[in-house]
Amino acid sequence: MLGRAAYKVKGGKLIKVQLTSEGKKIKNIKITGDFFLHPEEVIDDIEQTLEGRLLDEQELSRLIRAVLTSKKAVSLGVRPEDFARCIMMAGEKNE
Amino acid sequence: MSEKWRLLDTGLNDAFYNMALDEAIVIARSKNLVPNTIRFFRWSPSAVSIGYFQSMEEEVDIKACDEMGIDYIRRRTGGGAVYHDTEGELTYSIIVDENHRLISRDFQETYRTLCSGLVLGLRQLGVPAEFKPINDIVARGKKISGNAQTRGMSIVHQHGTILRKVDPALMFKVLKVPSEKIRDKLIRSVEERVTSINDVLGRDVSFRELKDALIKGFEDSFGIKLMPGSITDFEEDLAQRLKVEKYASRKWNFRR
């Protein structure tokens, strides 16, 4: 089953998530949108980190924040909790 | 003596060369082969560019583009999809060392500083332009310019578009709409949110006049002197290679 969601951050940018899940776990995930993330390649690290993880909003947000910190990356127009919110929306549609 | 930057006007080129040349200039700047640079360029054929993180299939009506002979390309910068009409818009790039006095560690602050050159230039023309965070310039509350920035190799690269005239109906022929039912609504919403220099001034502003105003805006705002120059052989060779190997490739353009 495939889940999709789009989430517009108030005063910010648009995030789109497409994912497949098994039970409550993320199997594959693709994050797209018109946001900014520097360096850009960190989006691949975020997606890889999230694969196999539980659909738990706080935990997803924490994991994404940890990737940004470890890669010295910054986002503009979106925050880790916004990505997490959109992922949960896509996960819920998947059930 | 004010600080000298290079001014390039590379005229009309296709999307793949345009984006390849931007990256080639960034690489040349990072190797200290060229000075800080401001480049003006246009797109022929007209093209759609999408942000680094966007999905080509989701954002662009590929069939419509193919039928109309419009190119589509992924940028190295984030942000949204832009329709670059050959006659309707001017594109610029700023390529500057990350350690330059104009550059802040904060991206938002740097957008404001670099966009101030455009704002001042547009005001010279009589357009009441203002910077609107995150990355837009507006006139009378409507968007007239969109901008996108990235960093790497110790270089800041910002490029953006300035609308000279705008055709929202054409814009939504090349961009995907969620459903045909809401196409008209989207067109009306763009008409309400987007404007152009010709709309604001009520006359036809030439590219020459626009570029001259922006040059003055950049010089006064940045405290620099723009020296008309040309691209180096290094940049041209690298641009040709990046065009073939990266920007014209399906792998790059359809990677997300």
> How many angstroms separate the CA atoms of B229 and B31, rounded?
18
Model's pTM, two decimal places?
0.96
- B143 token code pair: 């968007």
**Chain B residues near residue A74 by CB distance under 8 angstroms:** 107
| Contact yes or no for A12 and B81 at CB 8 A | no
**Chain B residues near residue A77 by CB distance under 8 angstroms:** 134
How confident is the model over B116-154, as pLDDT tens digits? Answer: 999 999 999 999 999 999 999 999 999 999 999 999 999
Distance between A22 CA and the closest CA of chain B, angstroms: 22
Interacting residues of A42 by C-beta distance below 8 A, sequence separation 6+ = A67, A68, A71, A73
- The three-class DSSP label of residue B40 is strand
Mutation pick from B52, B53, B108, B255 vs chain A, by most beta carbons of A within 10 Å, is B53
Report the domain count for chain A: 1
pLDDT band at B62 (very low <50, low <70, confident <90, very high): very high
Once rounded to an integer, what is the mean pLDDT over residues B69-98? 97
Mean pLDDT of chain B: 96
How confident is the model over B179-225, as pLDDT tens digits? Answer: 788 888 888 888 899 999 999 999 999 999 999 999 999 999 999 99
ipTM confidence score: 0.96
Provide the residue ranges of all domains of chain B, joining segments of one domain with +. Answer: 3-253
pLDDT at A60 exceeding the cut of 70: yes
pLDDT band at B51 (very low <50, low <70, confident <90, very high): very high
Once rounded to an integer, what is the mean pLDDT over residues B48-53? 98
Q: Which residue of A has its CA nearest to B154?
A: A39
- A25 token code pair: 């776990």
Range of the domain at A55: 2-93
3-state per-residue secondary structure call for chain A: CEEEEEEECCCCCEEEEEEEEECCEEEEEEEEECCEEECCCHHHHHHHHHCCCECCHHHHHHHHHHHHHHCCCEEECCCHHHHHHHHHHHHHHCC
The H or E element containing residue B186 is: helix B183-193
pLDDT band at A94 (very low <50, low <70, confident <90, very high): low
| Contact yes or no for A33 and B54 at CB 8 A | yes
* Candidate from A34, A39, A40 with C-beta closest to B80: A34
CATH number of the domain bearing residue A77:
3.30.390.50
CATH class of B3-253: alpha beta
State the pLDDT at residue B179.
Answer: 76
Distance between B81 CA and the closest CA of chain A, angstroms: 8
pLDDT at B158 exceeding the cut of 80: yes
State the pLDDT at residue B185.
Answer: 87
pLDDT above 70 coverage of chain B, percent? 100
User: Shortest CA distance to A85 belongs to which of A22, A28, A10, A23?
Assistant: A10
pLDDT band at A2 (very low <50, low <70, confident <90, very high): confident
- B109 token code pair: 């602050």
- The three-class DSSP label of residue B250 is helix
pLDDT at A95 exceeding the cut of 60: no
Q: Is the dihedral of CA B216, B221, B222, B224 positive or negative?
A: positive
State the pLDDT at residue B67.
Answer: 97
pLDDT at A1 exceeding the cut of 80: no
Distance between A37 CA and the closest CA of chain B, angstroms: 7
State the pLDDT at residue B171.
Answer: 87
Distance between A15 CA and the closest CA of chain B, angstroms: 9
Please give the backbone phi and psi of residue B45, each rounded to the nearest 5 degrees, phi first: -65, 165
The H or E element containing residue B235 is: helix B233-242
